[in-house]
């Protein structure tokens, strides 16, 4: 068994195995293919697939495709890709609830024959009225006592498409006075004259989620059906179906607290709105909390898995600070990301005491703590770029407050020479266009002569040998801790500074030869990733993953 954090589910499984209740643990991940998966789904994936791995069992991928109006092959493909990217594999072939439609139809007929289901002609408005409230019992539908023969005939007409959508439904006959609203004669089948992406036009009636879920679990031999807490009140119905149908197994449902993260929206309906209204560029926009969006932003799969472990699995609802995810991202990237130098806001530095065609190759480690990752080559030429914020003409700045290049003083270029700023060139508006500097000979990898004290260390690139790149700086999409709560529309909490695009950045040449999705630590700037869709060696595009330090609290 893998070394994973213990939780209430592992305690249940341990007991089941010890008592011999199960010989093999089988879990499942059952997403609806009506949108892209988000960070909450990542937690569920890590839990279900992780438990299967932990106990040498299996986890099925089963698409809950009972609502064809909102489903699409694009979502099916993206979900499979997300799961694989997170590092998991499902058992056997991909499964679909629609594969069980024939069996579910037989199960529905079984309930009708047993007098436990009936066709109801109440309109949706009437059905809501008859259902009652949390404090008042419902009342029986006037169609509740139809005969078995009549119900079988009407249900067959539903299947054959002889009724219009909304004309009637098939309902279970349980208890309209039950304090649990889910047991008040729930709907089993609705008429939907919509073509299905898997079954085509074979069906014009589709089963409800509640009627599909438990029976699909039973047909697949699921031992532990793990849901989020909002399905806790559905568990008695889940068990009622299993107790009243000739299913081949008796799975058990367990609920855990869903993952809620501040500054984040995880409603697929609301995420779809962001896409449809072009607030973001798509489901995989790096500002989106979707798995594909986080992947494109450069969040490592290992960081999401570690974050899931850090959050833990329990039954207490709460809100997780987004800073916990940021911590997991930084921890992973600090260990794995190669280093590179990229100047985001360049100003030219011209070295006066070398010739115009001067060329040297400096060496720097790919990772300061991992010799096995090797070294990278840094071309050093007469003309360089440094970041504009790394220079000041103000000679009164203290060394403590400004550890960068000041006119008339020295600074070390990372992995290269100590240089001195001698003069500046300005345009008509007074903007600095060029810094005249000189190198201190013999200072590559060596201390400067006595009396020369560099203020600090700054990053740089060669002006002629670096590569021009586009860099997209991403920040949180929302500037409110709970953007989808309260009376305000979530659009009012959009962060106007969630994206800035820098067109004229310059990066050391070796970095752009790496494959897309390679993450880097841009020294002194943060973590960035080569965009998986738009980047090329000729026209690199980098997305900012996260800064080196958490500055959000200071901003808000």
User: Would the CA dihedral through 231, 291, 12, 18 be positive or negative?
Assistant: positive
CB 289 within 8 A of CB 261: yes
CA distance 192 to 71: 13
DSSP, res 527? E
CA distance 246 to 457: 73
Give me the residues paired with residue 205 across strands: 191
Catalytic residues: 32, 258, 268
Q: What is the DSSP string of 313-355?
A: --S----B-HHHHHHHHHHHHHHHPPEE-EESSEEEEEETTS-
CB 490 within 8 A of CB 322: no
Could you give the residue ranges of the DSSP H alpha helices within 208-321?
209-220, 235-244, 268-276, 291-297, 301-311
CB 206 within 8 A of CB 66: yes
Q: Which residue has the tokens 């309902």?
A: 171
CB 474 within 8 A of CB 287: yes
Q: Which of 550, 538, 421 is nearest to 470 (CA)?
A: 538
Distance of CA 194 to the CA centre of its chain: 31
Give first-to-last CA distance, the chain, whole Å: 44
Q: Is 373 helix (H, G, I), strand (E, B) or coil?
A: helix
């Amino acid at each position: 068994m893998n070394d994973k954090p213990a939780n209430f589910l592992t305690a249940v499984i341990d007991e089941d195995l010890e008592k011999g209740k199960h010989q093999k643990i089988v879990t499942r991940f059952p997403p609806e293919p009506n949108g892209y998966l988000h960070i909450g789904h990542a937690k569920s994936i890590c839990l279900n697939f992780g438990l299967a791995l932990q106990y040498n069992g299996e986890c099925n991928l089963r698409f809950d495709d009972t609502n064809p109006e909102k489903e699409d092959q694009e979502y099916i493909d993206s979900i499979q890709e997300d799961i694989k990217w997170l590092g998991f594999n499902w058992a056997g072939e991909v499964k679909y609830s629609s594969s069980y439609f024939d069996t579910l139809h037989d199960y529905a007929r079984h309930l009708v024959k047993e007098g436990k289901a009936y066709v109801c002609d109440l309109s949706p408005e009437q059905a809501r009225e008859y259902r009652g409230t949390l404090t008042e019992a419902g009342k029986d539908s006037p169609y509740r006592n139809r005969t078995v023969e009549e119900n079988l005939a009407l249900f067959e007409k539903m299947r054959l498409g002889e009724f219009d959508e909304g004309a009637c439904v098939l309902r279970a006959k349980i208890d309209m006075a039950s304090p649990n609203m889910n047991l008040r004669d729930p709907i089993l089948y609705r008429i939907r004259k919509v073509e299905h992406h898997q079954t085509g036009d074979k069906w014009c009636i589709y089963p409800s989620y509640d009627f599909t879920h438990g029976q699909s679990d039973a047909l697949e031999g699921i031992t532990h059906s793990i849901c989020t807490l909002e399905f806790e009140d559905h568990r008695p119905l889940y068990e009622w179906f299993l107790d009243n149908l000739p299913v081949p197994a008796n799975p058990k449902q367990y609920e855990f607290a869903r993952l809620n993260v501040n500054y984040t929206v995880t409603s697929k309906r609301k995420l779809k709105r962001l896409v449809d209204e072009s607030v973001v560029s798509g489901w995989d926009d790096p500002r989106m909390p979707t798995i594909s969006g986080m992947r494109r932003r450069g969040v490592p799969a290992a960081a999401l898995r570690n974050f899931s472990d850090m959050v833990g699995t329990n039954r207490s609802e709460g809100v997780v600070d987004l800073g916990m995810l940021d911590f997991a991202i930084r921890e992973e990237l600090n260990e794995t990301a190669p280093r590179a130098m990229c100047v985001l806001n360049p100003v030219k530095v011209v070295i006066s005491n070398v010739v115009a065609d001067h060329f040297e190759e400096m060496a720097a480690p790919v990772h300061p703590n991992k010799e096995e990752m090797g070294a990278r080559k840094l071309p050093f030429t007469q003309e360089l770029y440094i970041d504009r914020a790394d220079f000041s003409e103000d000679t009164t700045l203290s060394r403590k407050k400004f550890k960068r290049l000041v006119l008339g003083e020295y600074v070390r270029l990372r992995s290269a020479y100590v240089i001195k700023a001698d003069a500046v060139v300005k345009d008509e508006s007074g903007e600095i266009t060029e810094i005249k500097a000189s190198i201190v000979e013999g200072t590559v990898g060596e201390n400067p002569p006595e009396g020369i004290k560099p203020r600090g260390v700054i990053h740089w690139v060669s002006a002629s040998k670096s590569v021009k790149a586009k860099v997209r700086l991403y920040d949180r999409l929302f500037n409110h801790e709970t953007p989808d709560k309260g009376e305000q529309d979530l659009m009012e909490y959009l962060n106007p500074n969630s994206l800035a695009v820098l067109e004229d950045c310059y990066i050391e040449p070796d970095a752009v030869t790496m494959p897309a999705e390679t993450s880097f630590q841009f020294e002194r700037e943060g973590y960035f990733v080569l965009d998986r869709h738009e980047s090329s060696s000729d026209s690199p595009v980098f997305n900012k993953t996260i800064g080196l330090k958490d500055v959000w609290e200071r901003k808000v």
